[in-house]
Amino acid sequence: EMLRQRSRPYLFSNTLAPSIVGASIAVLDMLSETTELRDKLEYNTTYFREKMTAAGFDITPGVHPIVPLMLYDANIAQEMAARMLEEGIYVIGFYFPVVPKGKARIRVQMSAAHDQNHLDKAIAAFIKVGKEMGVVK
């Protein structure tokens, strides 16, 4: 009882809401039944990375679905993110202090909910804006 009354980690922790527990169980059940969504996410990630690299963008190598598009300059990252939004593509520019100085980037997050036409639209917008800004040739 003393720990319950005096233990700071115990005092300031909460139980999970039943809806969060239920959703988590449903997701685990869904993932154990099929790999369809995971396979689609892997395909989308590979497709996007390959097309963006072929277009001349500096993509940090990897297989994960968070794709860092390296721009190195904070102003360029901010402007490109804003111009991508004008093209209907929402991405976030990251720069110091979130990432080290000189390592500014745009973070693109892949999803199994994306269809190939979504990816192609995003890639085309990146190429258009990238050429206009001189990021790619």
d(CA 105, CA 116): 24
- State mean pLDDT over 68-91: 97
Give pLDDT, residue 12. Answer: 67
**CA 56 from centroid of its chain's CA atoms:** 20
Its pTM stands at: 0.80
Q: Per CATH, the architecture of 35-133 is what? A: Alpha-Beta Complex (3.90)
Domain ranges of the chain: 35-133
**5-36 per-position pLDDT tens digit:** 777 766 666 777 889 989 999 989 888 888 89
- State mean pLDDT over 69-96: 96
Name the residue among 119, 100, 102 with its Cα closest to residue 111. 119
Give pLDDT, residue 14. Answer: 73
For residue 130, the 8-state DSSP code is H
Give pLDDT, residue 75. Answer: 96
Q: ∠ at Cα 96 (52, 53), nearest 5°?
A: 10
Whether 79 has a pLDDT exceeding 70, the answer reads yes
d(CA 52, CA 110): 13
**91-100 per-position pLDDT tens digit:** 999 999 999 9
d(CA 120, CA 126): 10
Reading the block at residue 110, the tokens are: 């892949």
Kindly report the backbone phi and psi dihedral angles of residue 103, in degrees, each rounded to the nearest multiple of 5, phi listed first.
Answer: -120, 30
Please tell me whether the peptide bond between 97 and the residue prior to it is cis, using omega within 30 degrees of 0. Answer: yes
